[in-house]
Structure 1
Amino acid sequence: MSDQTDGGRRIGTQEAARVLGVKPATVYAYVSRGQLSSRRDAAGRGSSFDAAEVAALARRNRREAAAPATGELAVRTALTLIEPGAYYFRGVDAVALASRYRYEEVAEWLWTGTLTPGSGFAAPPEALAAARRSVAALPAHSGPVDRLRVAVAAAAAADPLRFDLSEEAVLGSARCLIPTLVGALPEVADDHPDPAAEDDGIAEDDGITEHGGIARRLWPRLTAREPDPDALAVLDLALALLTDHDLAASTLAVRVAASARAHPYAAVSAGLGALEGPLHGAAGRLAHRMLVDVREQGGAAPVVAEHLRAGRRVPGLGHRLYPGEDPRATALFARLEALEPAAPALAAAREVAAVMARQGGLHANVDLALAVLTVSYGMAPEAGETVFAVARTAGWIAHALEEYQERPLRMRPSGQYHGPRPPQPMPTPMPTSMP
């Protein structure tokens, strides 16, 4: 059976099985797992399937069958390629792209494969107000990731279209979510922010001026110091460089959530949850504190010695994907060298790297370069986490978009049970203590 309805060709079970290379019964198994949709014909004699949907599933199955069995989880992606000394966004040198275009433009390139100069993001007033109220209700000691997680949840609740996983809808949510996250963070200079304020603190030209947009809105959430165009340009560069970096732990968490067809806000929340771990998100904070110690003690040697004596890793050095210096660090250092306020922190970072070069040749990574920026402009130690999380939200959305095109629930590894073999006797309840 083959017919044309609703603008698309429909095929019968036998033809669908032939295209997929499976038995007819397996076709219905795909339907039960949500991988295919079916429709009963008018006479009730059988089911029909969208030919394009069947062909797409066949292509996915062939891709997965062709993937090498390496013993590790491998995820096909067209977003970021990492090679020794360089990384690429959709085949374009990421450092060159980030050096020339603003964060929003790099995000659009990663999402759509189209470069759109002048791209700007805007926060919906209702979502921004809800996010600000929610963040304002948190304890004063809450960290940046705490605030961002709460802001994401509030923004999701304010978006009735969040369950629409079409590319157009997800992109619309992404362009609203990122400025909402930034706008929900309290300004450092404002000790008593009004959570219900209607003004979102965004200048009219923030989305179109050369160094406006997300970097301009984020700056007062990081430091009370007034920015200059060069400092804003470095912050924007950092955001663009950090947009994506292949399958880091937080990005894998996002893809697992998207594989289960969680909406994009929930997928971003999964990424933030993984980022909260001390092995992923805390490196910038540690590097910041180390540079402050180096400046206070007048040299890197005693600070490095104390880290090693305590059995701690020296933060901001080494990256398992780069044998030399992290290209993101190289790009940020080059831009920071032109900024007078950055000179002391930059010298401290260079001294730390020089001391450690004698012990195994570890090179600077992006956390150390980001720490130079945060120390130089009087930002808090956790400012690097904020920059990282805001920047990486764009990459998380890009990975969610890719995963929505794959077979649902494909990231379901099999557990290797190591517990006692059944049958085991029923456990004996513990005696309750009498008052």
Structure 2
Amino acid sequence: MHTDYLSAQDAATRLGVSLATLYAYVSRGRIDSRPGPDGRTREYSSGDIEQLIERRQAGRGAAQGAAHSLAWGLPVMETRISLIRPHGHYYRGESAIALAKGGTTLEETARLLWDCGEHDPFDAKLPDQWPATITLLLRQPDVPPLERATAALPLLALDATHAHSIDPLHRRRDAALLLREAAALLCGAKPSEQPIHRVMVTSWRKNEAGLSELVRCALVLCADHELNASSFATRVAASTGASLHAAMCVGLATLSGPHHGGAAARAHAFIQDLLRERKPVDRVRERLRRGETLPGFGHPLYPDGDPRATVLLDALQTTRPRPTKLAPIERLIDAVQTQCGRRPNLDFALASIASAYELSADVALAIFAAGRMAGWLAHALEQQESGSLIRPRASYAGRMPQRDV
């Protein structure tokens, strides 16, 4: 059996899979990896790869293969919306990182994701004020952003003019209105024709230099990430013929789970816990020794580091809003890198922005949700226009009946 290690491209070629699938195998412990000679890339065990090929050639049922694919595995659905590569992700062939760095707004990104062409669905006039029921909801100070938006969307759907229209232009106009309204709900603001990143920053009463630009950049990077849990759930709802409002509610409900949207809150708490530590490396070492996780570090699809986090942390470093806050965050990143080689992911970057500007974990989640809504709407529109129902079959693994009835 081979004991040497292969580069990522050679390993993927040997397996006959994409790089994303190779990284999924690594994340599930199927293939061992180690740092490459240059310290920036990684190498992959050829012995593990040969074993995986042997098991695959020995035969595996189609049902088992399909089930395996649902957990960071092989692609299960065709889409033209986004593509993930180890160095970054793309929206309809356009680099999301280049869009974020180039000053693109979330609204412009949404037009790209929704395949609007020359049509601008955001040119419609917004309502002057919220309905009375929404105004009442916004007056409840203890309702968190996600719950507020989730509660309000069904009420807004009651007045949706083209909720079940088959006209593509109507659907995209509704999507544009819905995106603006939902983003405003997340930060407790009024509907506005201002760019979403400005609406959010204004609602937090933070006029500090650089924050608006950081939020704009983050919204674009968060806009979509292929078939993540909330986007897939949104597609399932849309495939039934549910309205865009209903599909968005499903996305928000899925995002509320601790293994999805809750990751930003855990990263925020992790940062706050270590901001006061003079030697964060000791605390990191303790957590690793106890077998605890390091929230906000590592990503199954980016074993060499999440490029979205790199862009945002570099931008945060440039603005330096609170040097006394930023320095401990940088020490924490270095401590984790030293102890286990893991690098920050998007959740950590969002939590770092909130921490550096002395904002809450809810703000980090609101940025993520507002950005990802553009992607949810893209997936809902694509699924609706396909006209197909998503209805997979289950592989029954329980007790079998004694006899057929």
User: Do they fold alike, i.e. is TM over 0.5?
Assistant: yes
* Alpha-carbon distance in 2 for matches of 1:225, 1:103: 20
Shift of 1:120: 6.2
Shift of 1:400: 0.7
Contact 1:283/1:316 (8 A) holds in 2: yes
Aligned residues, how many?
334
Residue 99 to residue 119, structure 1, CA distance change in 2 (3 Å): farther
Equivalences for 1:282-431 in 2 at 5 Å? 282-308=262-288, 311-409=291-389, 411-422=390-401
Aligned to 1:91: 93
Shift of 1:122: 5.5
Partner residue of 2:197 out of 212, 215, 226: 215
**Structure 1 letter corresponding to 2:90:** Y
**Structure 2 letter corresponding to 1:200:** K
Shift of 1:307: 3.6
Contact 1:261/1:408 (8 A) holds in 2: no
* Alpha-carbon distance in 2 for matches of 1:122, 1:214: 15
Shift of 1:397: 0.4
Contact 1:131/1:152 (8 A) holds in 2: no
Query: What do the CA deviations read for 1:385-419 (whole angstroms, capped 9, x no partner)?
Result: 1111111111000011111122421x211123344
Q: Choose 319-328 or 346-355, whichever is displaced more.
A: 346-355
Partner residue of 1:261 out of 241, 248, 271: 241
Residue 75 to residue 132, structure 1, CA distance change in 2 (3 Å): farther
Paired residue secondary structure (1:82): strand
* Alpha-carbon distance in 2 for matches of 1:231, 1:394: 21
Runs ≥4 residues deviating over 6 A: 115-118
Paired residue secondary structure (1:317): coil
* Alpha-carbon distance in 2 for matches of 1:201, 1:161: 19
Aligned to 1:432: none
Residue 128 to residue 300, structure 1, CA distance change in 2 (3 Å): farther
Shift of 1:309: 5.2
Residue 307 to residue 114, structure 1, CA distance change in 2 (3 Å): farther
Q: Structure 1 residue 112 and structure 2 residue 102: aligned? A: no
* Alpha-carbon distance in 1 for matches of 2:124, 2:308: 24
Contact 1:276/1:282 (8 A) holds in 2: yes
Shift of 1:302: 4.0
* Structure with more helix by fraction: 2
* Alpha-carbon distance in 1 for matches of 2:131, 2:317: 36
* Alpha-carbon distance in 2 for matches of 1:375, 1:80: 30
Aligned to 1:200: 190
* Alpha-carbon distance in 2 for matches of 1:121, 1:350: 43
Shift of 1:371: 1.3
Partner residue of 1:80 out of 82, 85, 108: 82
Contact 2:153/2:182 (8 A) holds in 1: yes
TM-score normalised by length of structure 1? 0.70
Shift of 1:185: 4.5
Aligned to 1:225: 206
* Alpha-carbon distance in 2 for matches of 1:134, 1:385: 19
* Alpha-carbon distance in 1 for matches of 2:377, 2:302: 25
Shift of 1:249: 0.3
Shift of 1:168: 1.5
Contact 2:121/2:173 (8 A) holds in 1: no
Partner residue of 1:250 out of 205, 230, 243: 230
Whose RCO is larger (CA < 8 A, sep 6+)? 2
* Alpha-carbon distance in 1 for matches of 2:197, 2:131: 17
Paired residue secondary structure (1:81): strand
Contact 2:296/2:347 (8 A) holds in 1: yes
Can you give the 5+ residue segments of structure 1 that lack an aligned partner in the other structure?
Answer: 1-68, 188-198, 208-212, 425-435
Paired residue secondary structure (2:89): strand
Q: Structure 1 residue 157 and structure 2 residue 138: aligned? A: no
Q: Structure 1 residue 278 and structure 2 residue 258: aligned? A: yes
Q: Choose 364-373 or 335-344, whichever is displaced more.
A: 335-344
Percent identity (aligned): 31
Aligned to 2:44: none
Shift of 1:142: 2.7
Larger radius of gyration: 1
Aligned to 1:13: none
Contact 2:145/2:362 (8 A) holds in 1: yes
Contact 1:103/1:236 (8 A) holds in 2: yes
Shift of 1:173: 1.3
* Alpha-carbon distance in 2 for matches of 1:219, 1:129: 25
**Structure 2 letter corresponding to 1:105:** E
Q: Structure 1 residue 174 and structure 2 residue 175: aligned? A: yes
* Alpha-carbon distance in 2 for matches of 1:240, 1:297: 33
Can you give the 5+ residue segments of structure 2 that lack an aligned partner in the other structure?
Answer: 1-63, 71-75
Query: What do the CA deviations read for 1:251-272 (whole angstroms, capped 9, x no partner)?
Result: 0000101111111111111111
* Alpha-carbon distance in 2 for matches of 1:173, 1:218: 21
Query: What do the CA deviations read for 1:114-143 (whole angstroms, capped 9, x no partner)?
Result: 378996676424656543333435xx4332
